[in-house]
Structure 1
Amino acid sequence: MAAYNRSRCRQKLLLLLLLCAISAPWTFLSPAHGSSKASSFQASRAHAATALMMAPMLVSTPASAAAEGDIGGAVVAYGHYLGLILATACLIAERLTIRAGMNKEEEDRMRVFDAVYGLAALLILITGYLRVTEYGKGWEFYQHEPIFWLKLTLAAVSGAASFFVTATIIKRSAAQAEVKDQVFIPMSEKLANRMTSVINAQILAIGAIPLTATLMSRGVLYADWLPWQAGAVPPVLALVGLGFRYVKEAVEWTDDDK
């Protein structure tokens, strides 16, 4: 780090000398209408003063470079992206695995994918909170950004939909454990189709999140007048309302429903 700072200082000194060299010839050129040596000397002093005024700006560059190289912010951002990629991978794996009449090994894999998805969602939640409050643009920006709340709504929809899948997996595992003769009960086609449609909705919701993130970071539709309470209503309703609905549907599910 010290060697890097010395190198940067040398670069700044060379740039300062270059600025002085660029300005120097103009101090010795004769004016078009003939001026005195005093005016030439005054011009030389003016250029020197300008160069000296620019020197503190050059010297302060390492501090800004250090601020831009925020390791904590980089780690949090990496964790956020990793969680999003991992959650998407788990959803795709679930979508490719689920089918009517799955064997026990396939349902065990579904259980693993769902557990990893839950961990990825937790990672996204923690790192997202840190990015909003500590390492991103700051809460003062995000609370007035409608697309930020749209992003949270999409995340809430994906999370609420996952309640149906998780509740169904838990319900089937508990029912299977109660079977004394250990006969595996395969999943019905109706339930497999319903879980497939729910996972498809999750994939669509989580797939739209990167688009909202890019628009949000650029301040698209930013509104100073928007209170955070109004922005928070859609994601809260999506998470609570849809979450309750999906859990209730999973708990009360029967294959003979019309």
Structure 2
Amino acid sequence: MHARYAILSHTWLQKKPEVVYEDAKNPQKWHSIQSGRRSAYRKLEGFCKIARDKHGVSFAWMDTICINKDSTSELEESIRSMYRWYKNSYVCIVYLSHTTSLADMHLDRWFTRGWTLQELLAPSKLKFYNKTWKDLTALLNEKASPPSPNIKSDQMDILQIIHKATGIEPKQLLSFEPGVDQGIASRMIWAAKRSTTRGEDRAYSLMGVFNVSFSIAYGEGTDRAFFRLLEAILSSFNNPLDILNWAGTPCS
């Protein structure tokens, strides 16, 4: 039996350092982190408190602090396992750092980033929080399927907001399965609206969505990484023309 864990979906701070793996190995740093990296520490602290107090779990996973990015092998394993980790989580806690309420939720930067697409699609239990860690709805799970009759209106509100921000229909979100059998074009369109800090991540972040796997090679460039993604998709799909049935932005 595996332990239940919460997993965080968030966007990295802009122009401010996060709390990272090396910090976790050095407890003596924590006092200086609390004062010197206040935004990062508050995000970590807020996540852990929500995971424990609201969702009753004793284990929490956050990419910034749980992946040793100085280890090439660990980074590659993490990237190729990320979809599965989000899917297997007890709850995915989504921290929307630019959101105040449902009224401005669709404008949050979280909906524009490449890695957060699989973090939206993979978990079966998803819960959104605003920039001060307040619940955006009374729901315990904003991806519950079918919706509870008593709170159906709340869920439909948030599903429509997600649709407005991403183009993903509520039915597509609630019934999503990784792979290519449900069609490639729509998923490519979802991804085309998003960006990543490193160009290659536009391809790497989609491996779980299409249920394909290939080696990570930072430095190969955006075009080469995307070509290898398409190659992996084509090798597992019997309708290659579908991959051309979408309009995205050029890789470079």
- Flag whether TM exceeds 0.5 (same fold): no
Under a length normalisation based on structure 1, what TM-score does the superposition of the two structures give? Answer: 0.25
Rg (Cα) greater in structure: 1
More helix by share: 1
Under a length normalisation based on structure 2, what TM-score does the superposition of the two structures give? Answer: 0.25
More strand by share: 2
